[in-house]
Amino acid sequence: MFQKTVLDNGVRILTEQRSGTRAVSLGIWVENGSRHEEPRQGGLSHFLEHLLFKGTKTRSAQRIAEEMDAVGGVLNAFTGKENTCYYAKVVDEHLPLAVDVLSDLFLNSVFDPEEIERERTVILQEIASADENPEDFVHDLFSLDYFGDHPLGRAVCGEADTVSGFTRDDLVEFMAERYRPGRVIIAGAGNLSHAALVDAVGGAFGAIAAKPLQAPVAAPEPRSGLFHHPRKLGQVHICLGAPALPHGDPRMYVAHVLNTLLGGGMSSRLFQEIRERRGRAYSVYSFLAPYRDTGYLGVYVGTKAEWAREVMDLAVDEMAKVAAGQVTEEELGRAREQLVGNTLLGLESADSWMTHMTRSEMHRGAQISVDEITRGVRDVTLEAVAELARELFTPGALTATLLGDLEGHSVDGVGFGGTDTEAAAANP
Render pLDDT for 122-156 as a digit per residue (tens, 0 to 9): 999 999 998 889 999 999 999 999 999 999 999 99
pLDDT of residue 396: 84
pLDDT of residue 215: 85
Residue 250 CB: number of other CB atoms within 10 A? 8
- Give the Å distances, CA to CA, from 115 to 29, 53, 56, 153, 154: 23, 10, 11, 29, 26
- Spatial separation of the C-alpha atoms in residues 30 and 72, rounded to whole Å: 26
Q: Is 159 among the residues known to form the active site?
A: no
Q: Are 360 and 185 in contact (CB under 8 A)?
A: no
- Spatial separation of the C-alpha atoms in residues 1 and 11, rounded to whole Å: 20
Its pTM stands at 0.92
E strand or H helix that includes residue 365: none
- Spatial separation of the C-alpha atoms in residues 305 and 402, rounded to whole Å: 10
Instruction: List helix spans (H) across 179-307.
Output: 194-206, 252-263, 269-270
Mean pLDDT of the chain: 93
Q: Which domains does the chain have, with CATH numbers?
A: 2-206 (3.30.830.10), 225-426 (3.30.830.10)
Catalytic residue among 16, 31, 37, 49: 49
pLDDT of residue 415: 56
Q: Which residues of the chain have pLDDT under 70?
A: 413-428
- Give me the helix-helix angle, 95-108 and 194-206, nearest 10°: 20
For residue 172, how many C-alpha atoms fall within 13 Å in the half-sphere facing its CB? 10
pLDDT of residue 425: 30
Q: What SS3 class is residue 83?
A: coil
- Spatial separation of the C-alpha atoms in residues 354 and 78, rounded to whole Å: 14
- Spatial separation of the C-alpha atoms in residues 160 and 141, rounded to whole Å: 16
pLDDT of residue 428: 27
Give the tens place of pLDDT for each residue, 284-321. Answer: 999 999 999 999 999 999 999 999 999 999 999 999 99
